[in-house]
Copies of this chain bind each other. A is one copy, B any other.
Amino acid sequence: MAKPRQTIETTRRIPRQSRAAETVTAILEGAAQILETGGLAAFTTNTVAERAGVSIGTLYQYFTNKDAVLLALARREMEIALADVGRALGGGGDPSLEGRVRAMVRVIINAFRGRQRARKAVVQAILAQGIGIELMAPVAAFIAAAGAEVGSGPRPILPALSREQLFVMSRAMLGAIRAAVLEEQPFLRSRAFEDEIVRLAVSYLGSIKSDPGRSRTTV
């Protein structure tokens, strides 16, 4: 993996031409496939380049190093997931607290469904490098924001959540879902599981409503 670079820029040259964009996509797609097929162990720059149908030299023309590929892949997945969540919350569904929470839970679970092995590998890879935090951030922020929103507005259903509360709520939800994915639990896509995740969030928020606890801050 080379010496860890804290550089967060992953792409070397910003692809302006469509061909370049295609190349980047091909590489990322190849990376996902390799991860899907052989897991992290098979994820080598040479393998990825080959699967992507480009030369290893080309890969390095677009990515500074191996980690950059992984990171870019993770980012892409995250963005897709977030877009889904946003779409789900935006589309007028049940506006109640439980309704919104349920919409969100459903999207997150589905986000992990599709290419499961690849996603699992991405998650593992990301965690194995400690970059997870950075990437989890926007997702967590999103969840937190959704939670906070509930507690603000003209007729706030909840008081504003403290830093710790936002953290616990978002991480607890993600943690349970992620564990189900990683452990390949059979009930991952079941209604019962979804119900319990919703219950977890709603009961927690309800508890805060009746007893806000000490410190209170927005994110």
In angstroms, Cα B173 to Cα A174, docked, is 11
Q: Which of A136, A164, A169, A174 has the most CB of B within 10 A?
A: A164
Q: So how many copies of this chain end up in the complex? A: 4
With a 10 A CB-CB cut-off, give which of A168, A174, A192, A199 has the most chain B CB atoms: A168
A interface, size bucket: 35 or more
Q: How far is the CA of A122 from the CA of B41 in the complex (A)?
A: 18
Q: Mark A165-205, 1 if CB is under 8 A from B, else 0.
A: 10111011111101110111101001011011101101110
A1 at the interface (CB under 8 A from B): yes
- Is the C-beta of A33 less than 8 angstroms from some C-beta in chain B? no
Which stretch from A24-32, A87-95, A123-131, A144-152 is at the chain B interface? A123-131
Is the pair B192, A162 in contact by a Cβ cutoff of 8 Å?
A: yes
User: Given the complex, which residues of B lie within 8 Å of A125, measured CB to CB?
Assistant: 128
Given A133-B184, A199-B208; 6 other pairs, CB 8 A cutoff = A40-B128, A124-B130, A127-B127, A164-B192, A172-B172, A195-B213
Any B CB within 8 A of the CB of A3: yes
CB pair B203 A207 closer than 8 Å: yes
A163 at the interface (CB under 8 A from B): yes
